[in-house]
Chain A
Amino acid sequence: MTPPVEAAVDRAFREEWGQVVATLIRWTGDWDLAEECAQDAFALALRTWRRDGVPRRPGAWLTTAARNRAVDLLRREATGAAKLREVAGVLRTGDDAVGGDDPDVPDDRLRLIFTCCHPALALEARVALTLRTLAGLGTAEIARAFLVGEQAMAKRLARAKQKIRYAGIPYRVPPAHLLPERLPAVLAVVYLLFNEGYSATAGADLVRHDLADEAIRLARVLVRLMPDEPEAAGLLALMLLHHARRAARLDEAGDLVVLEDQDRGRWDDGQIAEGVALLDGTLRRGRPGPYQVQAAIAACHATAARPEDTDWAQIAVLYERLARLVPSPVVELNRAVAVGMAYGPAAGLALVDALRETGALAGYHLLPAARADLLRRLGRTAEAADAYREAAGLATTDAERRYLARRLAALG
């Protein structure tokens, strides 16, 4: 096989798999058949493109090949006859547009992602199904990424597809009046994928890193297909701005490097610029939401040339806005830290202590960790040491414990 053909099939797989599967599901209503035919189409592409060259529109070629395969398979089984008439009927009416060039025709991938992320499915099933059908990851890869056995993952996928079929989960983009409650479920799955990949450490399975790229790719598709949804763009901006810092997040030993200690020269300027431009365009619509506000906070950090250039007053305001949109004690803690940076440790400590009184974050190591930093800056060293020790006792990962031990040692 010549490398250019292999590369073309690889690229087509990344770019077209979801579209081919989504279209086949619409035609046949059969998720397993759709995946099987898509797989066969890619196998055929490897053989045929080597001989005939790469077609001008690989996506259309693959969809046609998968459709022909579906017709073949359905013809072979008696129960397929009725379905075959439907598929053939769809083809005769010319409803086989590929690529979704017409803005009035919802892209099949949108139908697919809304169905995969239907709230009647368990969250882990939504994530797995999205990765399998839309992103084309293999069952073994998904199983590795989520640290479960391949058989367990295969079962989870089969169960989800069975429920879609027998519970009558519709294959469609929800109507406008349902969108406000359904879109967040889709965005949450994409963001969860991103965080699974983003929080992967150097020692962990590399597959998990790919999840962050996959999430960004899915978000790009969502933004392109739903240009009027500012939160979709907000999520993409947020992920780009986090992803831009990826190379600087871990040191050679695989330890977490906190924001203020990161080598900002290793941040990806191109991704930061893209994230900021996307966010600016979105905020101008005047329909803010949690992802846009979080992206705005990430932008404040990403655009500061040095840690001391960070606009903490602006960040404090943004956290206050975020707390109003999605009330959460973790957001309040972040606001307290920002206030401590903008207006001095005493102001921050007052907020942290008020939060501590409520008990809402009992057992959460970042509360005593934040308190410790503020106490240290106030010169209350003994209390700071106690708080660092309390935080280390609650921390859940070795990297965090090592970090807190270093801070404690630095108190002298």
Chain B
Amino acid sequence: MKYVLLICGDESAAEHADDGCGGWSEKMAERGVLRGGAGLRPPSDATTLRVREGEVLLSDGPFAETKEQLGGFCLIECADLDEAIEIAAAHPAAAYGTIEIRPLVDL
């Protein structure tokens, strides 16, 4: 199964922006479950786009002004949800932010 881990946090999570993953990425890559991912620049650097009736509409900022914002994502591949939970729980961001585990559409 493939899952994306969506790493979210409120403003206070910004202080962790340069923390890195404390060896998590290396460990998971070695284990063969990490397929990719990245940390994201803060929502203030985001641009949101829609195309309506052929017109490109842009706005400054993220698509939802919520307290919790996406700060990074990882693509993992593992046996099942239990393993995904174990992998996500080991991520340092789980201790201060929130991680959403989303299965990918199986094609």
Contacts and interface: CB of A to CB of B under 8 A. Distances in A.
Do A and B come together as binding partners? yes
Nearest to A169: B81
A166 B80 contact: no
B40 interface: no
Contacts of B81: 118, 120, 167-170
SS class of chain A's interface: helix, strand, loop or mixed? Answer: loop
B103 A170 contact: no
A168 B85 contact: no
A167 B103 contact: yes
B1 interface: yes
A76 to B, nearest CB: 24
B103 A174 contact: no
Contacts, number: 24
Interface string A87-130: 00000000000000000000000000000001010000000000
Contacts of B103: 166-168
B85 A170 contact: no
A7 interface: no
Contacts of A167: 81, 101, 103
Contacts of B3: 168
A169 B101 CA distance: 12
A178 interface: yes
Nearest to A120: B81
B85 A169 contact: no
Interface residues of B, number: 11
Interface in A145-203: 166-170, 174, 178
Interface string B72-107: 000000011110110000000000000001010010
Contacts of B85: 120
A174 B85 CA distance: 13
Contacts of A169: 80-82
A74 B106 CA distance: 21
A118 B82 CA distance: 10
A270 B81 CA distance: 44
B9 to A, nearest CB: 21
A168 B78 CA distance: 10
A163 to B, nearest CB: 9
A38 B60 CA distance: 56
Nearest to A164: B81
Interface string B43-84: 000000000000000000000000000000000000111101
A124 B7 CA distance: 27
Contacts of B84: 168
B100 to A, nearest CB: 12
A121 to B, nearest CB: 10
Nearest to B86: A178
A107 B101 CA distance: 30
Contacts of A170: 79-82
Interface string B1-34: 1010000000000000000000000000000000
Contacts of B106: 166
A120 B3 CA distance: 15
Nearest to B106: A166
B90 to A, nearest CB: 14
A237 to B, nearest CB: 30
Instruction: Among B79, B80, B81, B106, find the residue whose CB has the most chain A CB atoms closer than 10 A.
Output: B81
Nearest to B101: A167
A221 B80 CA distance: 27
A42 B30 CA distance: 51
Nearest to B105: A166
Contacts of B80: 168-170
Q: Which 9 A-B pairs have the closest CB atoms?
A: A170-B80, A168-B1, A168-B80, A168-B81, A169-B81, A167-B103, A167-B81, A170-B82, A166-B103
Interface of A: 118, 120, 166-170, 174, 178
Given A166-B106, A167-B103, 11 more contacts: A120-B85, A167-B81, A167-B101, A168-B1, A168-B80, A168-B84, A169-B80, A169-B81, A170-B81, A170-B82, A178-B82
Interface of B: 1, 3, 79-82, 84-85, 101, 103, 106
24 contacts: A118-B81, A120-B81, A120-B85, A166-B103, A166-B106, A167-B81, A167-B101, A167-B103, A168-B1, A168-B3, A168-B79, A168-B80, A168-B81, A168-B84, A168-B103, A169-B80, A169-B81, A169-B82, A170-B79, A170-B80, A170-B81, A170-B82, A174-B82, A178-B82
